C-alpha cells in the first residue's frame, strides 16, 4: 500500500473502527495504527491472573504510567485510565451492555440551565441526527434485543436479534420492581443470541467482562467493523505502533503522524486526513504532545481547552445474598450466567435531579476478585485466617448473590482535566498523561440516589442481607470530554462534525468529543458518533474538500 493514504486513523477501538469501516467501503485507502497487539480468539482464555492481573489489556505503570491527582492525595502513578491496548480496544473485553443516550442528554444546558460549579453545554447535534447511526450500528453488530423500556428514546428499527437467555432470578427482581411501581426491562446486549453475519451465537460461558470472546460471539469491533473493513482490501492495519506526534505542514494542516513501529523504529504515516480515536485521555495527550511553532501549546489547542471537561461515569454498587437453595436460583448458576435487568425510572425524574441507570447482574466468576473483596469488606483492615475462610465459604458455598452497578452522570468541572506530567515518562521517554479527578456535588447525590433505589429493590426481594459498595466513585474506562464538540472555537475544540476548529483535516471520533456524559454506558454512542464522523469525512472527500 502507498505510504500516503487517504486517511490515517490512530486507535482501533469503538471510536476508530466505524470510521475505518465507512471510509474503506467508500473506496478510500486507510492506514490504522494501534499501539497494542492484534489478538484473535485463540489468545483468549479464562485465566484471571494472566488476563486480568497482568498487562494483557493495559500496560504496567512502569512501562506506560498514568498519573492520577485527587484532592488531598499525592499524585500517583497507576494504570487507571487505560482502557485497552489491542486491536479493537476496550470493546474486546467489554460486557456489551448497550444503551442509547436520551435526547435530553444532548441538550444538557438547554434543559437544565446553568449549574453552579459546572461547565455544562449542549451537543452541537440533536438526537435526531444521531439516531440513524444508532440504528445502523445495531444492525451491523447484531445487537440482541432487550425488553420494553418506557423511558427509552424512539427506535425506528428493532434490534436484529432476539434477546439473550437470562437467569430465572431476573424475574425475582423484576417482580420486586413492579411491586414498587417501577419499570424493569431486559437490557440489549452486544452478544449474539443467534448467528449473525458469519459469527456464531453465544455459548453462555459467563466470561464477557474483562475477557475476550473465544467464540467471536461478542460484537467487539475487531470481528465486526474491522473485519469487514479489512475484507475490502483498503485497510492497512498496523499493530504494535505507538503514535507520539501528529505532524502539520506550513499551511497548518495535518500531514500525518510519527510513530514507533513494533520493532521500536521511528516511522511516519502520511494521509490527507488524520483521525484520532485513542480514548479521551490518550487523544488529549497526543494533541498536547504535538507541539510546533504554529501550535506551541499543543495541536488544535489555541483555545486552551484540549484536555479540559474530562468526565467519567459515576459509580455505585450493592449486593444481596440469598440461601443457596432459594427457588429463584437453582443449583447450576453457570447454565444461565446473564441477569441483564435494568431500571431507568430515575434517569430524569420529574420530581428530582437527573441520576442515571441501575443495572442488575450476577457476580462475575473471577474467584480472586471475590476473595479480595471478602478479605477487605467495607472496612480498612484486612480479614485473614478463619474469619476469611468463613466469609469465603458463605459466599461461594452457602449462598447465592445478586449485584448492582449504577451509571450516573458526571458533570464537567474545572477540576477534572488531563495535562502532561513532565516527570513521569513512558517507555519511550514521553510525558505521561496526568489525570486530575474532581467531582461536582451532583455526582455524589445522583450516585447515592441510584444506590438507594437499588438497595430498596433488593430489600424488597427478602434477601438474607444487602451490602452497599462505594458510592460517588467513577468508572475510568467510561471517559469523555477532553476535546469537546461545539459551535464556537472559543468554547470548544471540535465542530459538530468532529473536525478540529483550527486544523481543517484533523478529526476526533472517540468520546473525547462528548460535551456531556449521560447516565448510560457510552460504547454504543461512541460507535454511532464515529460512524457519523466517518460519513462526514466521506462527503468531504466526494466534494474534494480533502
Q: Which domains does the chain have, with CATH numbers?
A: 4-240+314-480+521-542 (3.50.50)
- Per-residue model confidence (pLDDT) at position 433: 98
Contact in structure between 485 and 513 (CB atoms under 8 Å): yes
Residues of the chain scoring pLDDT < 70: 1-3, 331-335, 351-353, 377-380
* pLDDT tens track for 61-95: 999 999 999 988 999 999 999 999 999 999 999 99
At what angle are helices 385-393 and 367-376 packed, to 10 degrees?
A: 130
Q: Compute the C-alpha angle 372/435/99, nearest 5°.
A: 70
Beta strands in 331-398 (DSSP E): 341-343, 356-361
What's the CA gap between 285 and 148, in Å, rounded?
A: 41
What's the CA gap between 18 and 127, in Å, rounded?
A: 19
The dihedral formed by the CA atoms of 324, 328, 333 and 334, expressed in degrees to the nearest 10: 170
Distance of CA 221 to the CA centre of its chain: 13
Helices (H), 337-384: 367-376
pTM to 2 decimals? 0.97
- Per-residue model confidence (pLDDT) at position 350: 72
- Per-residue model confidence (pLDDT) at position 470: 81
Helices (H), 263-331: 280-289
Distance of CA 71 to the CA centre of its chain: 25
Long-range pairs, 212-215, Cβ under 8 A, ≥24: 212/39, 212/41, 212/43, 212/44, 212/92, 212/93, 213/41, 213/44, 214/41, 214/42, 214/44, 214/45, 215/41
First-last CA distance in the chain: 20
The x, y and z cell numbers of residue 521, run together, are 454506558
Distances (CA, A) of 430 to 129, 167, 262: 39, 48, 17
* pLDDT tens track for 175-201: 999 999 999 999 999 999 999 999 999
**What is the chain's percent helix, strand, coil content, to nearest 5?**
25, 25, 50
- Per-residue model confidence (pLDDT) at position 352: 65
Amino acid at each position: 500500500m502507498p505510504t500516503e493514504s487517504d486517511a490515517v486513523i490512530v486507535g482501533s477501538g469503538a471510536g476508530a473502527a466505524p470510521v475505518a469501516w465507512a471510509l474503506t467501503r467508500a473506496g478510500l485507502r486507510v492506514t490504522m495504527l494501534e499501539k497494542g497487539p492484534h489478538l484473535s480468539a485463540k489468545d483468549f482464555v479464562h485465566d484471571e491472573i494472566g488476563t486480568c492481573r497482568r498487562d494483557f489489556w493495559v500496560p504496567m505503570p512502569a512501562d506506560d504510567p498514568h498519573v492520577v491527582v485527587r484532592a488531598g492525595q499525592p499524585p500517583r502513578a497507576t494504570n487507571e485510565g487505560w482502557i485497552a491496548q489491542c486491536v479493537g480496544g476496550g470493546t474486546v473485553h467489554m460486557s456489551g451492555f448497550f444503551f442509547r443516550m436520551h435526547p435530553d442528554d444532548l441538550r444538557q444546558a438547554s434543559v437544565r440551565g446553568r449549574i453552579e460549579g459546572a461547565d455544562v453545554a449542549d451537543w452541537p447535534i440533536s438526537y435526531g441526527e444521531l439516531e440513524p447511526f444508532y440504528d445502523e450500528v445495531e444492525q451491523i453488530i447484531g445487537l440482541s434485543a432487550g425488553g420494553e423500556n418506557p423511558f427509552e428514546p424512539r427506535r425506528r428499527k428493532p434490534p436484529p436479534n432476539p434477546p439473550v437467555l437470562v437467569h430465572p432470578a431476573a424475574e425475582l427482581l423484576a417482580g420486586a420492581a413492579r411491586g414498587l411501581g417501577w419499570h424493569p426491562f431486559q437490557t440489549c446486549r452486544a452478544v449474539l443470541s443467534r448467528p449473525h453475519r458469519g459469527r456464531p451465537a453465544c455459548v453462555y460461558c459467563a466470561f464477557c467482562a474483562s475477557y475476550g470472546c473465544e467464540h467471536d460471539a461478542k460484537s467487539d469491533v475487531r470481528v465486526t467493523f474491522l473485519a469487514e473493513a479489512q475484507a475490502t482490501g483498503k485497510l492497512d492495519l498496523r499493530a504494535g505502533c505507538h503514535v507520539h506526534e501528529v505532524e502539520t505542514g506550513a499551511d497548518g494542516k495535518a500531514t500525518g503522524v510519527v510513530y514507533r513501529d513494533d520493532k521500536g523504529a521511528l516511522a511516519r504515516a502520511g494521509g490527507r486526513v488524520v483521525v484520532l480515536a485513542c480514548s479521551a485521555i490518550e487523544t488529549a495527550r497526543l494533541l498536547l504532545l504535538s507541539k510546533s511553532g504554529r501550535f506551541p501549546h499543543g495541536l488544535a489547542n489555541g483555545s486552551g481547552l484540549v484536555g479540559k471537561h474530562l468526565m467519567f461515569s459515576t459509580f455505585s454498587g450493592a449486593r444481596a445474598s440469598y440461601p443457596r437453595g432459594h427457588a429463584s436460583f437453582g443449583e447450576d448458576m453457570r447454565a444461565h450466567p446473564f441477569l441483564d435487568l435494568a431500571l431507568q425510572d430515575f434517569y430524569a425524574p420529574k420530581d428530582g435531579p437527573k441520576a442515571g441507570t441501575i443495572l442488575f447482574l450476577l457476580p462475575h466468576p473471577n474467584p480472586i476478585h471475590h476473595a479480595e473483596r471478602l478479605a477487605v469488606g467495607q472496612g480498612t483492615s484486612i480479614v485473614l485466617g478463619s474469619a476469611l475462610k468463613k466469609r469465603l465459604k458463605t459466599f461461594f458455598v452457602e449462598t447465592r448473590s445478586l449485584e448492582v452497578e449504577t451509571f450516573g452522570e458526571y458533570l464537567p468541572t474545572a477540576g477534572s482535566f488531563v495535562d502532561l506530567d513532565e516527570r513521569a515518562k513512558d517507555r519511550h521517554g514521553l510525558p505521561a498523561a496526568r489525570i486530575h479527578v474532581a467531582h461536582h456535588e451532583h455526582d455524589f447525590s445522583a450516585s447515592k440516589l441510584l444506590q438507594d433505589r437499588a438497595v430498596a429493590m433488593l430489600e424488597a426481594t427478602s434477601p438474607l442481607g444487602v451490602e452497599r459498595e462505594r458510592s460517588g466513585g467513577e468508572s475510568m474506562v467510561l471517559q469523555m470530554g477532553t476535546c469537546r464538540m461545539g459551535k464556537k472555537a472559543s468554547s470548544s475544540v471540535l465542530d459538530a462534525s468532529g473536525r478540529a476548529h483550527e486544523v481543517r483535516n484533523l478529526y476526533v471520533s472517540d468520546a473525547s468529543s462528548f460535551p456531556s456524559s449521560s447516565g448510560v454506558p457510552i460504547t454504543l454512542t461512541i460507535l454511532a458518533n464515529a460512524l457519523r464522523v466517518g460519513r462526514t469525512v466521506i462527503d468531504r472527500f466526494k466534494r474534494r474538500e480533502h
